[in-house]
Amino acid sequence: MPTFAHGKSAVFKIADSGATLRDISNVVNSSSLSRSAETAEVTALGNSSKAYIPGMKDATISIEGMADVTTSGYLDGILGTTTTWEFYPAGTGAGEVKYSGSGILTSLETSAEVGGAVSVSGEVQVTGDVTRATV
């Protein structure tokens, strides 16, 4: 029987400019890990269907949330630099999945609108492998 989890338990951590891993889950309301794998076409003459071989993997992490002075400082300090991260989609309970790796914070946007909270969003370009483990 499948076991499902609610997103409210997710945890996202990212290292600040001093390499201290910071749990910023208290201001993040959305985080996602997107992974893909390239393929290279190797179709030869005489084939009637295309053929492919596996290529390189890629991944990005998107985060969105409410702007907080402390957390914004962490993110401002690592924009354009390589950092480490950890993502627990179902929380940090025993047996839950943990993804981790290194990446570059490539974008950071702070927005404000009348009638709403100041928000922050960003994207991390993963560099190297994504590690999957359990807590």
The fold of the 7-134 domain, in CATH, is Pnp Oxidase; Chain A (2.30.110)
Beta carbons within 8 Å of 61's beta carbon, 6+ residues apart: 31, 32, 33, 34, 85, 87, 103, 123, 124, 126
The residue ranges of every structural domain in the chain are 7-134
Q: What is the pLDDT of residue 1?
A: 83
DSSP state of 71: H
First to last CA, the chain: 21
From first to last of the 135 residues of the chain, give the pLDDT tens digit: 888 889 999 999 999 999 999 999 999 999 999 999 999 999 999 999 999 999 999 999 999 999 999 999 999 999 999 999 999 999 999 999 999 999 999 999 999 999 999 999 999 999 999 999 999
